[in-house]
Chain A
Amino acid sequence: MAKIDINEERCKGCELCVHACPKGILALADKFNNQGYRPVEILDAEKCIGCAFCARMCPDVAIEVYK
């Protein structure tokens, strides 16, 4: 059981987390945040293993991980 919490307003949509995720469950959302970026969203939360690769690669420290 694991989950991540993405701070959409910090996210700049750089997709480093998308490429880092071993389960391939992150993608850019079809919307814009107040900074004008498309934030990342989780597609299939059930598959998250809490490895924190996404958080580790996030340059904006926008992801928290629970396990």
Chain B
Amino acid sequence: MQKVFERPKALSDKKMHYCPGCTHGIVHRLVAEAIDHFGLQEKTIGVAPVGCAVLAYEYFNLDFQEAAHGRAPAVATGIKRVLPESVVFTYQGDGDLASIGLAEIVHAATRGEKITVIFINNAIYGMTGGQMAPTTLPGQKTTTSPYGRDTSRVGFPIRVCELLNTLDGPAYLARVSMHDPKNVLQAGKAIKKAFQVQLEGKGFSLVEVLSSCPTNWGMTPNQALKWVEEKMVPYYPLGVFRTPEEVSSCDA
């Protein structure tokens, strides 16, 4: 028998602090697999966010910089511009990227920065205890929308891929989901593609990953994945929004 599934080398041995059933760990693995796939461990610099993934640098066997809340795309820009041969990615949540860091992500995208952004959309602020996020669904209860998100008072969620797709700068934009093995496989392919777009110098790439937060949603991990499938996917449609035609096909 041969080993057909193992821990990627770009992941460290450290046990992750994430809550049981939180899909951050799956996305970490997919990113690490992409790094291993292209052999990028020696030339990759990650940028960690503020939020649950603030300690991402402990879980990746890679050089890392830890950014202030929302500023990861600006930090990544600085790194990539002075080390153009390196591979630079940010790993950001929805509060980080779509609220406090909206200016940074929009401008990194419109400049066509040759970085890869892994964007975790779980419709809530996880680390601070479950407050309303820019991606919280209409009617969704959080600790700062205890009666449910009232769109007449606080407005509507932001669809990040669609928003960035209005710009000329991005080269690759895709939304994937963590809700079942098939979609996880799909997400892995999208993440590999995003890194490939960077490697081939095509420009800015972003993969939005619909993820779960069982703890703050008050659900079991399995219920939470069902909620992603039944509530989030209809609001945040999956698919590739932008792809550079000339990027060679990615063997996942």
A residues lining the B interface (CB < 8 Å): 1-3, 9-10, 12-16, 19-20, 35, 37, 50-53, 55-61, 63-67
Ordered nearest first, which 8 A-B pairs have the shortest CB separation? A59-B25, A14-B21, A65-B5, A12-B20, A14-B20, A66-B1, A53-B181, A14-B221
CB contact under 8 A between A37 and B20, given known A20-B181, A65-B3: yes
Which residues of B, 81-124, contact A by the 8 Å Cβ criterion? none
Contact indicator A19/B222 (Cβ below 8 Å): yes
Which A residue's beta carbon lies closest to that of B33? A61
Contact indicator B1/A63 (Cβ below 8 Å): no
- List, in ascending order, chain A residues with CB within 8 A of B153's CB: none
Contact indicator A55/B1 (Cβ below 8 Å): no
Contact indicator B1/A61 (Cβ below 8 Å): no
A-B contact count (CB 8 A): 78
Which A residue's beta carbon lies closest to that of B6? A64
Q: Is B24 an interface residue (CB 8 A)?
A: yes
Chain A proximity of B60: nearest CB distance (Å) = 12
Contact of A61 among B3, B19, B22, B25 (CB under 8 A): B25
Interface range for B: 20 to 34
> Which one of B10-18, B130-138, B232-240 is at the interface?
B10-18
Contact indicator A59/B180 (Cβ below 8 Å): no
Q: Is B23 an interface residue (CB 8 A)?
A: yes
- Bound together, the chains give a CA A10 to CA B24 distance in angstroms of 15
- List, in ascending order, chain A residues with CB within 8 A of B2's CB: 66-67
- Bound together, the chains give a CA A37 to CA B85 distance in angstroms of 43
CB contact under 8 A between A59 and B23, given known A15-B221, A16-B225, A19-B222: yes
Q: Is B163 an interface residue (CB 8 A)?
A: no
Chain A proximity of B126: nearest CB distance (Å) = 13
Contact indicator B21/A50 (Cβ below 8 Å): no
Contact of B26 among A57, A64, A66, A67 (CB under 8 A): A57
Contact indicator B20/A66 (Cβ below 8 Å): no
Which residues of B, 182-234, contact A by the 8 Å Cβ criterion? 184-185, 214, 220-222, 225
Chain A proximity of B6: nearest CB distance (Å) = 5
Q: Is B29 an interface residue (CB 8 A)?
A: yes
